[in-house]
Structures are given as structure tokens and as C-alpha cells.
Structure 1
Amino acid sequence: MAVVALALPAAAAASVHSVASPAQTAAAGAVGPTGATPDQVRQALNATNLGVTGAGFTVGVLSDSFDYLGGAAADEADGALPPASQVSVLKDLPNPNNPAGTDEGRAMMQIVHDVAPGAGLDFYTAFVSQQDFAAGILALANAGCRVICDDVSYFAEPFYQTGVVGNAIQTVEQEGVIYLTSAGNRDAVGYQAAWNPIQTATVGSTVLHDTQDFGNGSPTQTVIIGGNRMEPRVPFVVQWNQPYGAVTSNLEVVVFLNNVVVATVTGNGRDPSILFTLPQGNTYAIAVQNLSGPRSRPHQRGCRQQF
């Protein structure tokens, strides 16, 4: 199960937002290199004359884990989180788990508490599966959360249709819940086009058939993966506009390094999605060919990459 969660690591967030942080001794107008303190956040909010504290509201948070690493009780005791009576964990990440939890959810809740110190906080892990992620959204809404936020996305979430998570979000929004989700930092880091096939093309000694023309008759797209990344391998997703569970075309991704095939990944014949990873620090040429079925519009998207 491939998951990307974008948020501050729990330790980093705690050092910024914990009431025990030395940064809080800084002058009210000076934000240190570790970020704003809770008092500075509240001062900025008070300057807008909003006069709100979050009292009477409950905010739901979905992330990897809440207390996988321990320390939640200390946060509740020292004020980094509300008292335990105002914090409810509907479901935490099982321990042990692969990947392990980093308690980003608790870090998010510390930030919410800085902004809205009077609000109650509920948590539900989003790291079990897409289906359980969706169940968590509904559970938080049913528990009374008026605002729900997450920092999780699944690479296999559909690009061309609404998936189970999107359906759950739409359901709670129709009930009046405000839902906030991380958009990520990917923006235009990808490729989308109508299927424009080249009948036959040769790359090195490999012959491709019914392969996508990426422009000017080129059967490949160059992808540069820098060498200064946290993860040793970088994930990619290719999707096309056919329904999940009922594809009629079967695409295949062929990856070249110096005109030599280093990876071939074929669709599963059921879903319009191909997920693969590549080692960092190389320049690749990627081809997409249609093995069978009608021609589709592919959406090739690298989740962390540079084209």
C-alpha cells in the first residue's frame, strides 16, 4: 500500500508548538527559525479581531498516527494539546505497523490547538486503507466534528473519477462539514494528454508498438530524478480514463536508462492505474504503450519527480 503523508514530522512540530519550547521566550513580534510559537499564532489571530477560540467546535484530524511513538499524555499535561477530556482517538494506527507511525496526526492537532485552543479534537488514522480512510471521514463527522482535515493521499486514488475517499468527503460536506485536505506540492509535475499513438518505434534495441507520442514523434518522455531526496526510490503513477474494476485497455510502462530497458510494468487488467518506483539520481526515458483494447487518454503523474 503506497501512501504519502505531507506534514511536519511529529518531533519537529512538537518543538515548534509545544508550550515547553524555548522558542516561546522570543519577543512576540519575532518569529524564530523554528517557526511561530503558540502565543505568536494567537497574537496574529487576535490582531484580526476575529475573537474566536474554537469553543463549542470539534475538529477531526486524519493522518498516520496519534500516539504510536508515545508522548500524547505529556502533551495533554503540558498544554501542547487540550486536556484528555477534550481529545478523542476514534482509531489509532496499530503498533507495530509497516510503515511505522510518526504521530504526524498529533503534530497537526497541536497546530489546531494553537489556533483554536477552545476546540475539542478527534483523531482517526488514515493509514490502514483507502476504504478505512473513507470510513474515518464518516466516523469523525458522525462523532460531531464540524471541521475535518487530513494530510494523506493514496497514489491509487482515481484521477478521472471520484473514489471512495472523495465520495466520503462529498458526503460529509453535504452534511455541513468543512473539509480541508493537503493538496501536495505536485501541481504541474506530471503529464496529461489525449492518446496519440505511434504505430511502431524503436528505442535502443527495443521495439515499441502503439506507443504514446510525447511530442514531435518522440515515443519517450525524459524524467530527471535528483539525488538529494529523502527516499531512495521515487514513486510514479500512470492512469487512464477508464472505470476502475472494468478497464478495456491494458497499458504498459517501459522505462529506459541509456536506451536500455530497466523496468517494464503492466496494468493488472482490472484497474486503469500503474504504480511503480525508480531509484533516484538518474535520468530516465519513459514510454507508455497500449498492449490491447481501445485507445485511452493517459495521465502520467510522477508523485515526486522532475520532468
Structure 2
Amino acid sequence: MNQRAAEVRAATGGGHRLTPAKQKSVSDLLLRVDGAGALDLEIHALGTLTGKERADLRRLGVSVLNASDQWVKPAKLKALPNAGVLRTLVPYDRVDAVAALGWVAAIRPTEILPADAGSFLSEGVPLHRADDAQAIGIDGGGVDVGVISDGVSAIAAAQSLGDLPAGVNVLDAGSGDEGTAMLEIVHDMAPGAGLLFHGTGGGVAAHVSAQNDLVTAGADIVTEDIPFDAEPAFQKGLAATNGEILGAAGVWVSSSSGNLNSTHAPRVVATGTGNGPDNQAPTGCVVAPTNTVAFNGADTTFDVSVNPGATIGATLQWSEPRAIFPTAGAGGFTNLDLYILNAAATSCLATSTAAQGGGSGDTIEQASLDQRRREPRHGQARRQQQRQQRRQGHPDARPALARCRRDRRHGQRRLAQPRQQLHRLRHVGRRRERRRRPEPHDDAPRGLTAGRGPSHS
């Protein structure tokens, strides 16, 4: 986030206004920036919100878009998760001040990921023999199904074609149409069921609100297809915990397992090999990956293909406490880093090198690569900062680093990840063009590498 704040500062010239082109240049899959140079961030508190948190943020010029203190408890629930989280727009020059607030456990980019859309039309009715059930009068009558997804922008068209009934209760229309598709599938499976919809918005706090609002509106079943890469992978996060609370109250919650099998690296023990990724020493890395972890046998990279002009986001988690719910304020003991490399594993294209150790530091690393960019994000940030320093006559300004060589062949990248041992890790590499999966060229960029960096004690 500090790198991104430096980019925004350079793009605004120290002001608070971005042209649409500059706004696009400083935003990506993992972190969005608005036209005033504010970062879309989720702030996790050490406990539930009391009102002080909003006051502190308001004093720093931070806008709160939604938060856990806005959750409405459905009547059938005994309690809501004991958590405090706010989705905010934080001015780029206030990020450090927000992080210094005593009640802040962690700050994460707000997750706004595409819904788990599949590549094929649903054949669920015959597959699950729903038509046989309907033939004997079991059609979902008397049951209300709530759907959470991105949006229902084309719901009117679906209703005019007869694919959906007229009486869908839309609590929040959201944006997009995966929600329309989900409603159509539910209606095909159970044509007698009542239908409700709520767009998920952005961030986990808004998602929990959607779950609870649907139940308050009468949903007996809630089905959702929104992935949360940054929610805890080895603990029950906020959305999962709230889903369990709903389940205990008699509400069936069905969550998509995703269509992402080919984009997940295996879970492995994070034992350092003492070598660089594929025995290379890539240039342009913020921290050199000299102790990489093997994903499969002796292979220390996870290969992926990225189409020209496309983007990739990669997430690494490992089995130590997160700094967010349910262990807000905790952290890791093993220091791991994440690298996206070119096909030859000779150049760093993107990195995530936050520090973990001694029970502090959030045990997650996320990096993204936008192939429309001319240079890696970490290099771009450094270069922009140096230009700004030279303009201001900064005594520590140094000449810009040589540009990292970009592999201009048909898009293959590697991901590397460093650090220590006897701890399990999980890497989730998410490709953005899920509906088309062309065969990679032999000379395409190859992927992702995990490597171990220095450990902190």
C-alpha cells in the first residue's frame, strides 16, 4: 500500500485529483484508487466498533462506505460475529496515519473479485434429477431462496423472456449479470420457490450485510458465488463464520467452491530449498528470492499463462494466524514473500514482500501484474518516487533503476515465494479470463514462483 500511495502521489503531483487515465494507471485487480487519489481499503479493528473509529477516520479525511456497525441482526439469529471492519476510501497521504491508530489491527485492499462464473451452461436440472422431483409436485413451493452475486443488470430482459418470474425481490441490484444467471438456475431447479437477490458490493463487511439482509427479508436458503481470496484460508473468516451462524439458526447457506482448480498451486510444506526460482537469480526484485519453496518435487515455480493485455492476481497464505478476524491483531512467525516472474525466471515483474515474524505481520502476500503496463509496479513506484525527489532536490534521490526486461512473447509469467520451514502455505493464482482458456504457446510466460526470504524472530 505504501508503494501504491507513492504512485498516487506522483500521479497527482502531490494534489488530490486524478484524470481518468491516471486513475486507471494506479488501479489494478488488488487495489482500486478513486478520482481523488483515495485508496479503497478495508480496515480491520481489534474489536467491535464503538463510534470512536468513525470519528478518528473522519478526522483524517477518510470516507466510510460501509461497516460492521451497520449490520442488522435477523430476528432468528442469537448474535452476529464479534468483529469490527470498515470499507473506506483513504487519501493516499493518510494511509500511515490510519495504520497508526491504536484500534487498527490490519489494513487490507477491499476485495472486489469477479463472481465464480463457469464456462458452460448449467445442466443442473437433469443432473440432479430436479425434473423428476418436479414431476411429482416437489418444485420448491413454500421456500424462499436468496442469491448473492455481482448484480442483476439484465433482470428485466430475463423476465420478459420468461426465464425469470416477475416477483423477484431485489434488495440491492448490484452491478453485472452473474446474479441474473444464478437466479435463472435456481428458478429452473425449483420453479415454485420465491426468489430474492442482493448484490455483494465490495468487501467482506458488505457481503455479511447481504447475507443477513436476505434472511431478514425472509430467505430460507442463501446461495452465493463470490470468492474472497484474502479471507483466511486456514481459519474461519468473517463470511464463513456468519454463514455458520445462519446455518445454526436454520438457514441453509450454499457457497460456490469456484471453478479455479487449474489456477491453484498445491499446498506444500514451506521448506526453503536454498536456491533461487528454477536456480535463477532474477533481477529487479525488491527482496532477492534466494531461498525458494518447491511446489511440486524440485520445481520451485508454478507456471501460468497470461494473455497479452490481460492481468493476473496471485495470493499466498500459510497456516499461521492472520491479523484479521478471527485473530485480529495476531500475526505470523514465518516470513514468506511472493514473486511474479517472467518465463525465464530472470526478471521480477511484481512482488509482495511484507514482513512477518514474532507473532506479528498478516500472513498473506498478494501481487498483481497488468500486462498493459510498461514496467513492473514495484519498479514504477520506485521510479515515480525518485522523479518526485529529484524535482524537490531530495538529498537521497538516486538515478532511476534500469528498467526490468519484459518478456514480450505471448504472456507467460512465473511466481516465486521465499522463506522458512515446517509451515504450510497456500498460493492462489487467479486468472481473469476464465471463459476462454486458449492453449499456451510453448514460449509463453510460465508462471509463479514461491521463494523463502529471510526469517524474522
TM superposition score category, shorter chain reference: 0.7 to 0.9
Residue 55 of structure 1: aligned partner: 141
Q: Normalized against structure 1, the TM-score is what? A: 0.72
Q: What does 1:146-165 correspond to in 2, within 5 Å?
A: 146-165=220-239
Mark the CA change 1:35 to 1:104 in structure 2 (over 3 Å): closer, same or farther.
Answer: closer
For 1:7 and 1:256, the matched residues in 2 are separated by 27
Alpha-carbon distance, 1:35 to partner: 7.5
Mark the CA change 1:253 to 1:49 in structure 2 (over 3 Å): closer, same or farther.
Answer: same
Mark the CA change 1:116 to 1:205 in structure 2 (over 3 Å): closer, same or farther.
Answer: closer
Alpha-carbon distance, 1:92 to partner: 2.8
For 1:215 and 1:76, the matched residues in 2 are separated by 49
1:82 counterpart = 2:160: no
Aligned Cα root-mean-square deviation (Å): 3.6
Alpha-carbon distance, 1:123 to partner: 0.9
Alpha-carbon distance, 1:112 to partner: 1.8
Structure 2 portions without partners, runs of 5+: 1-110, 324-329, 372-409, 433-445, 448-457
Alignment equivalent of 1:193, drawn from 268, 293, 305: 268
Check conservation: 1:160, 1:240, Cα contact below 8 A: yes
1:224 counterpart = 2:304: yes
For 1:114 and 1:106, the matched residues in 2 are separated by 12
For 2:235 and 2:367, the matched residues in 1 are separated by 21
The residue type equivalent to 1:254 in the other structure is Y
Mark the CA change 1:275 to 1:148 in structure 2 (over 3 Å): closer, same or farther.
Answer: same
Q: What does 1:92-241 correspond to in 2, within 5 Å?
A: 92-93=173-174, 101-187=175-261, 189-199=264-274, 201=276, 203-204=280-281, 208-214=289-295, 220-225=300-305, 227=307, 232-241=310-319
Structure 1 stretches of 4+ with a deviation exceeding 6 A read none
- Larger mean CA deviation between 192-201 and 168-177 belongs to 192-201
Identity among equivalent positions (%) equals: 27
Mark the CA change 1:256 to 1:47 in structure 2 (over 3 Å): closer, same or farther.
Answer: closer
Could you give the per-residue CA deviations for residues 13-63 of structure 1, whole angstroms, max 9, x where no partner exists?
xxxxxxxxxxxxxxxxxxxxx887x9x99x961477442122211100000
Is the strand fraction higher in 1 or 2? 1
Residue 252 of structure 1: aligned partner: 337
Alpha-carbon distance, 1:160 to partner: 0.6
| Count of residues in correspondence between the two structures | 266
Structure 1 portions without partners, runs of 5+: 13-33, 94-100
1:5 counterpart = 2:115: yes
Alpha-carbon distance, 1:141 to partner: 2.2
Check conservation: 2:266, 2:295, Cα contact below 8 A: no
Alpha-carbon distance, 1:216 to partner: 5.9
SS at match of 1:197: coil
Mark the CA change 1:294 to 1:197 in structure 2 (over 3 Å): closer, same or farther.
Answer: closer
Could you give the per-residue CA deviations for residues 47-90 of structure 1, whole angstroms, max 9, x where no partner exists?
77442122211100000012xx3x53454455332233xx2222
